[in-house]
């Protein structure tokens, strides 16, 4: 798959994050800084609606995935 634009990258990143959030238990809640606590479905809606919270969740998830190799090495 070739990604040709930032918009296309953002769309694929959002799809990836939605898939990751969908894999979480339905009763999980996450606190997002001073913005409050969100359920899994609320986080998915924020990402789908491209809100500021949704953009933050996408950035956090992508950052986590980028650093996963480093994190796994520290656990060994």
> In this predicted model, what pLDDT tens digit does every residue of 31-69 receive, in sequence order?
988 889 999 999 999 999 999 999 999 999 999 888 877
Tell me: pLDDT of 25 over 90: yes
For 4, phi then psi, to 5°, come to -105, -5
HSE-up (13 A, CA, CB side) for residue 11: 7
Domain carrying residue 68? 6-75
Question: For the chain, how many helices (H) and strands (E)?
Answer: 3, 2
pLDDT of residue 54: 95
**44 lies in some domain:** yes
Tell me: pLDDT of 3 over 70: no
Tell me: pLDDT of 12 over 90: no
**67 lies in some domain:** yes
**1 lies in some domain:** no
Q: What's the domain count of the chain?
A: 1
Calculate helix-pair angle for 6-22, 40-48, nearest 10 degrees.
Answer: 170
């Amino acid at each position: 798959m070739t990604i040709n634009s930032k918009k296309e990258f953002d769309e694929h990143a959002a799809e990836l994050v939605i898939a990751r959030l969908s894999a979480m238990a339905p009763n999980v809640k996450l606190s997002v800084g001073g913005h409050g606590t969100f359920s899994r479905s609320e986080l998915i809606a924020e990402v789908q609606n491209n809100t500021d919270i949704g953009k933050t969740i996408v950035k956090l998830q992508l950052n986590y995935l980028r650093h996963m190799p480093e994190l796994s090495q520290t656990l060994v």
